[in-house]
Amino acid sequence: MSNIEQSSTAFNRFQNLWSSYADLRNAAAILEWDQLVNMPPGGSEARGEQLATLNRIAHEHLVSETMADAIAQAEASEGRPDRPQTATQAALRVARREHDRARRVPADLIAEMARTTTAAYTAWEAARSEDRFTLFAPLLARLIDLARERADALGHQGERYDALLGDQEPGLRTSQLRALFAEVDRGLQPLLQSITDRPQPGRPLFHRTVPESEQLEAGRWAVTAFGFRWRDGRQDRSTHPFMTSFAPGDVRMTTRLSADDFASGFFATLHECGHALYEQGIPDAYRRTPLAQVPSLSLHESQSRLWENCVGRSLPFWKYFQPQLARCSGTFRNASAEDLWRACNRVHRSLIRVEADEVTYHLHISLRFELELALLSGDLPVSDLPEAWNDASVRYLGLRPSNDHEGVLQDVHWSGGGFAAFPSYSLGNILTGIWMEAAESELGNLDRQITEGDFRPLLQFLRHAIHSRGGWDTTEELVQRVSGGPLTPEPYLRRLRVKFNELYDL
């Protein structure tokens, strides 16, 4: 039985199989959410076993001969054009891709990666806390070897990074990223230079002690205004904020609060809400089908950053939200909308990616992209990585880390075998420029709507243009649909220039 429109018997047979696979994946996601939000410490070992079993069974289901046959039969019956014309064709394109990729990687390699990442995470934690990169180096070297093996198993045309990029960004090429990122670097460097030449604002307004209940209340007020449906989701607290979805009607976001930094928890809340709004906007008819899966990490990230940065860090938002915030918390009662807006848009060169502002963020990603490519190609031996990182920090950010803790050891990603994931964050930012330009051209005075606290037109636009498509399109196809043009960083750079010219009186 299919949730997708009229379809053939062959498609229904495929969809039946896929439903079980989707249920297993979502069940695993529920176990993971619980692990991070509720699980008592004593449950940890058993939970690892339960997740391993669910993931193994889901994988076996996906790569089974039954599934292979069902996909092939459904393709024969529904047609398989390059660009899907129907929902069933689009669903099959996603399924084919996921099935083929899963089958290409040998079980031994998957097992070896799982073992190595477990050891590597422990080594990374130790290296980081002792500031000794050498503790992590051998495992990182092994992970790079395994990533190469995996890239070769997945298949590529010379550029291994392409294969790995496919985990997050189906269809995107490394060569495209190189060109895109170079263009963004060229746009941001002069902007950053102009800003840092200007006098900096005074004390950071948000660094005051705000009771947790008031922080939560402010965040909930904002995400409710954005349109988060509490009937179809919830918010909890966890060490690291994240969003996960088990169905369009059950979307969970978490946040963390910092006692003496209101902005940290508040913008994490807006960010996760952006992810959550996307998931809540996927049509319920796509539930358990391949179309319930979001096409790329960058697309997801573009939703979180749109609400966090393009909305949440805008002056119109603070004009609307200043009185609401004053209602939730007395702490900022005397701050004007403009004070608050300036406070959440301070730009400065810094070493830590996760603390970076909108202008410098991408430079952290370019640095990682450059080094990942060099590591994977073998041009950069792991032993030279810390020095290469520090040199690149000077080139991209104008700062040299004084130790590896604030340098090469700051991110967890590589220890989990996650190469080629960082670019999605920048791509997400780049995409926000395209979506916002399209929204403004369709909605007219978006700023006024936001100032009035009316976020419905923007959400409706995103629902219609992006969320309701689910997994239909690749990222580039969706850009084409929405903007009529190719994936370009120009709108993104334009927005930043306008915003920071105003903020810094450039």
Work out the angle at residue 200's Cα, subtended by the Cα atoms of residues 195 and 203, and round it to the nearest 5 degrees. Answer: 145
Residue span 394-413 as binding mask against a second copy, x where in contact by CB under 8 A, dash where not: --------------------
Contact 375, 388 (CB under 8 A): no
Query: Per CB under 8 A, does 234 bind a second copy?
Result: yes
CB of 70 to a second copy, least distance (A): 16
Query: Per CB under 8 A, does 225 bind a second copy?
Result: no
Token couple for 489 = 């960083």
Burial (CB < 10 A; 0-12, 13-18, 19+), residue 494, is middle
The span of 181-189, 215-223, 230-238, 448-456 binding a second copy (CB under 8 A) equals 230-238
Of the candidates 342, 338, 343, the residue with the CA atom closest to the CA atom of residue 322 = 338
CB of 280 to a second copy, least distance (A): 9
Distance (Å, rounded) from C-alpha 206 to C-alpha 323? 16
Give me the residues paired with residue 236 across strands.
Answer: 254
Q: Give whichever of 56 and 186 is closer to a second copy, judged by the CB atom.
A: 56
Distance (Å, rounded) from C-alpha 481 to C-alpha 164? 26
Of the candidates 159, 51, 466, 157, the residue with the CA atom closest to the CA atom of residue 296 = 466
Q: Give whichever of 52 and 76 is closer to a second copy, judged by the CB atom.
A: 52
CB of 252 to a second copy, least distance (A): 8
Query: Per CB under 8 A, does 363 bind a second copy?
Result: no
Query: Per CB under 8 A, does 239 bind a second copy?
Result: no
Distance (Å, rounded) from C-alpha 88 to C-alpha 86? 5
Query: Could you count the other beta carbons within 10 Å of the beta carbon of residue 9?
Result: 10
CB of 182 to a second copy, least distance (A): 44
Query: Per CB under 8 A, does 326 bind a second copy?
Result: no
CB of 250 to a second copy, least distance (A): 3
Which of 230, 240, 394, 400 lies at the binding interface for a second copy (CB under 8 A)?
230
Contact 75, 69 (CB under 8 A): no
Judged by CB under 8 A, the chain residues 280 through 299 that form the site for a second copy are 287-288
The span of 25-33, 328-336, 399-407, 479-487 binding a second copy (CB under 8 A) equals 25-33
Distance (Å, rounded) from C-alpha 377 to C-alpha 385? 13
Instruction: Beginning with the edge strand found earlier in the chain, give each strand of the sheet holding 233-237 in spatial order.
Output: 233-237, 250-255, 243-247
Of 98, 272, 279, 358, which residue is the catalytic one?
Answer: 272
Query: Per CB under 8 A, does 24 bind a second copy?
Result: yes
272 is catalytic: yes
Contact 344, 315 (CB under 8 A): no
CB of 245 to a second copy, least distance (A): 10
Token couple for 49 = 């076993």
Residue span 41-70 as binding mask against a second copy, x where in contact by CB under 8 A, dash where not: xxxxxxx-xx-xxx-xx-------------
Residues of this chain that bind a second copy (CB under 8 A):
19-20, 23-24, 26-28, 30-31, 34, 38-47, 49-50, 52-54, 56-57, 229-234, 246-250, 287-288
